[in-house]
Structures are given as C-alpha cells and as structure tokens.
C-alpha cells in the first residue's frame, strides 16, 4: 500500500535533513512513512481481502477439499470459506485428514462459485450468509442514524419480549458476522437487532470515509438503541465483536440511552488500540517507533493530513483498561489466548480490575472472532449462563 505523504511527514523530513545526514535522514524518512501507512491502513476500509490460503484440490464428489495448513485452517470446527477473490463461498466442516503443510476438510455446502477450479481463498467465521438461513422469522428494518438510514435485521424472540440485544460487527466485515449469536439469544427470550454502522459498506459513509475505531461509530449504535426503545425494548444488551466491542463499550458509556443497557457481551474485543497496534507491529517486525508514530498520528489534530480523517481519534477515551472504573453494568468477555489479531491481555486485565462486573471466559486455541466456530457449546453456554444471572 502506498502511504499518503502530507505536510506533517514533510516537516519531519526537513528537520531530519537539518540536524543529521546520511543514515539518520534515511531512518527518519522510513519511520515517518511507515507510521503514516500503519495509521492510514487502520482507519481506511479495505477494498480487497487477502486470500491467504492456498487450495490444493477439491473433490466435490467426496465433499472434501485440501487446503494449506495455517493456524486458522488447522483447527476443528465449522467455518465459511471465501474463494476466487470472494466470487465464491463454501461452508467447511471438520478435518478429515492431515498431511505435512495441508489439511483436508469436509465441504458442507457451496453457496456459489466454482470451488473445483479455485486456487486460493480465505477462512471466515461467517457460517450464515443471511438471516434466512437461520430458519426463524426476521425483518429487514432501517435505523435512522445521525448520518442517514442504516439497514439492520430484526429477529424477534419466540414470544414478544422487552429484552433486546443489539449486535455490533467488527472492522472490515458486515452484520452477517453476528448471525451466529441469534440462536442463543432467541432461546433466552431476546429480540436480536443486527446493525450496520458508518463506513462498513452498508450504512452511509461519513464525509471522510474513515473508521473512528469506536469513537464515532457508537452514535449509530445509540440510534439503534433509540429504535429498540421506540419498538418496545425495556432493557438492552449490547454485544460487540472485535472493533464492535470498542463501539459497544463507547455506546454503553456515552449514549443518552445508557440507562437502558443491562449488560455487555464482548467477543474477541478491542479493549485498547495501543495493545492491538503493538501486537500487530511486533508480528510484522516493525520498529516500536513506527507504532508510536502511528498512534500519535491517529490522535493528533492534524493527523488527518496523513490519514484523511476529519477529526482525530481520542485513543485515551477508547482505552477501557484505563477507564475500567467507569464501567457500571455487567460485562461478559470471551477471548482466545491464540487470537492472532487482537491480543487477549487487555481483556484479561479488564477482568482483573473489575471482578465485580466482568466475567472472563478464556478460549484456546480458537482464533479471532471464531470462538463460536471452534467450540459452539462452550460459547453458547457462556452466554446462556451469563444471561441467566442478569
């Protein structure tokens, strides 16, 4: 990805040129450019998903596919599989056999695309492509957000109820991610509202077309809470997945409707962005100065010169470890120690600081937002037990 160079980066280079020469100048240039690229990548919605799983062959008569073994593909469970640059989708089941560097998995269904000709794909936590696959009634509804109408799915409880759950998906995905949760909440008597939010590809875009990492998107969840209350909700549970966790936490703490929030459920959540960037930077062997620079750019009033944001991100306000004392409702956190994207350390620290409110359920070795896929009984059981205590 080619980073945008703004005046702030140019200023860094000018100073570096004035006080040093040779290697020092080159180093300053690299740090500035990399920091800008990291910051921009975080707030910009990706236009294409990386296909990181090689396909060695699909035997559709035997309903099997042999793919590259990765930390994700080598785990048990049921997963979605996008292939051929997302022009195809299949549902994969348990592992049939293993060989050095490969795994052979059961092919449960092929929704569309030619899997037999596919050469690469990516594993997904999505198992359902739409609410129609759940076998329960649902409605397409619209939430009036501050920047325009946003589509949502409403799945009623079996019997009319004032208890609602609002599902908030993660970064760079859509509300289909949250369909896995409908069954357990519906069985517990909750109406499920699966929402979209600004810049996710379904809801309206903000004027800068940039993520706020939870610092702006919470307003759309606040609008969803208004919708729920206007349609009979007497209490609301917010559930957030990955970045959706950061959004849900902000909504619970900043919304005018926050008194209606009975609790929060978090799956693989972002509790503090500094931890996420540090983890990702270490995985990519980036200098710590690059990560520090990226965080500084995101939070600086003029950082938008580099990233395209119209307003800085208040990273301190998004740090729920530091703000743990402000939590006022029960929270269920489910996170894997082998997440691979968002480290679980901040989730564990949040639970350690607020044992009076936070219930922490660890998973291993499930991957990021694929806890349900890896162990649906444990995942559903954790939510069921926690809801019963509300």
Rounded distance between C-alpha atoms, residue 224 and residue 108, angstroms = 35
Note the pLDDT of residue 333. 99
The pLDDT assigned to 30 comes to: 79
d(CA 386, CA 380) in angstroms, rounded, equals 10
Two tokens, residue 98: 């293993």
Determine what percent of the chain is predicted with pLDDT higher than 70: 93
55 contacts: CB under 8 Å, gap ≥ 6: 65, 66, 67, 68, 83, 118, 119, 120, 121
Q: Considering Cα of 302, then 304, then 305, then 306, what sign does the dihedral take?
A: positive
- Computed over its alpha carbons, how large is the radius of gyration of the chain? 22
CA quadruple 169, 171, 177, 181: dihedral sign: negative
Q: What is the pLDDT of residues 257-272, one digit of tens each?
A: 999 999 999 999 999 9
Instruction: Give the model confidence (pLDDT) of 21-52 as tens digits.
Output: 444 444 566 788 999 999 999 999 998 899 99
Q: Sorting pLDDT into bands at 50, 70 and 90, what band is 16?
A: very low
Q: SS3 for 338?
A: coil
Please name each of the domains of the chain with its CATH number.
Answer: 1-43+276-314 (no CATH), 53-124 (2.40.30), 131-272+318-389 (3.40.50.1820)
pLDDT category of residue 15 using cuts at 50, 70 and 90 = very low
Q: What is the pLDDT of residues 295-352, one digit of tens each?
A: 999 999 999 999 999 999 999 999 999 999 999 999 999 999 999 999 999 999 999 9
For 326, residues 6+ apart whose C-beta sits below 8 A from its C-beta are 253
> Does 137 have pLDDT greater than 60?
yes
For residue 238, pLDDT over 60 is answered with yes
- Return d(Cα 10, Cα 7) in angstroms, integer: 5
């Amino acid at each position: 990805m080619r980073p945008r160079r703004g005046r702030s980066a140019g200023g860094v280079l000018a100073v570096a040129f004035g006080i040093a020469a040779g290697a020092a100048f080159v180093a300053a240039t690299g740090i500035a450019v990399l920091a800008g690229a990291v910051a921009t990548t975080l707030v910009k919605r990706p236009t294409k998903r990386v296909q990181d799983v090689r396909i060695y062959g699909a035997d559709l008569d035997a309903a099997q596919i042999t793919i590259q073994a990765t930390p994700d593909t080598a785990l048990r469970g049921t997963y979605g599989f996008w292939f051929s640059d997302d022009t195809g989708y299949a549902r994969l089941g348990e592992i049939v056999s293993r060989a050095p560097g490969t795994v052979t998995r059961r092919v449960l269904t092929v929704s569309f695309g030619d899997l037999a000709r596919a050469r690469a794909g990516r594993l997904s936590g999505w198992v359902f492509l739409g609410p129609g696959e759940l076998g329960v009634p649902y409605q397409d509804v619209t939430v009036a957000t501050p920047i325009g109408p946003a589509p949502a799915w409403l799945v009623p409880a079996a019997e009319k109820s004032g208890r609602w759950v609002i599902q908030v998906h993660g970064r760079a995905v859509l509300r289909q991610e949250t369909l896995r949760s409908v069954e357990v909440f519906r069985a517990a008597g909750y109406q499920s509202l699966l929402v979209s939010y600004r810049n996710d590809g379904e809801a309206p875009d903000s004027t800068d077309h940039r993520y706020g990492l939870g610092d702006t998107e919470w307003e759309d969840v606040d609008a969803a809470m208004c919708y729920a209350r206007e349609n009979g909700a007497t209490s609301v549970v917010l559930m957030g997945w990955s970045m959706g966790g950061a959004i849900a936490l902000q909504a619970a703490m900043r919304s005018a409707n926050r008194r209606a929030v009975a609790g929060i459920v978090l799956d693989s959540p972002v509790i503090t962005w500094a931890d996420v960037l540090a983890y990702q930077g270490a995985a990519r062997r980036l200098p710590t100065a690059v990560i520090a620079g990226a965080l500084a750019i995101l939070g600086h009033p003029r950082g938008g010169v580099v990233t395209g944001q119209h307003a800085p991100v208040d990273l301190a306000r998004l740090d729920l470890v530091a703000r743990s004392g402000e939590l006022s409702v029960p929270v269920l956190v489910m996170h894997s120690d082998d997440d691979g994207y968002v480290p679980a350390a901040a989730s564990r620290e949040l639970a350690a600081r607020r044992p009076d409110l936070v219930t922490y359920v660890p998973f291993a070795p499930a991957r990021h937002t694929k806890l349900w896929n890896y162990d649906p009984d444990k995942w559903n059981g954790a939510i069921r037990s926690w809801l019963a205590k509300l």
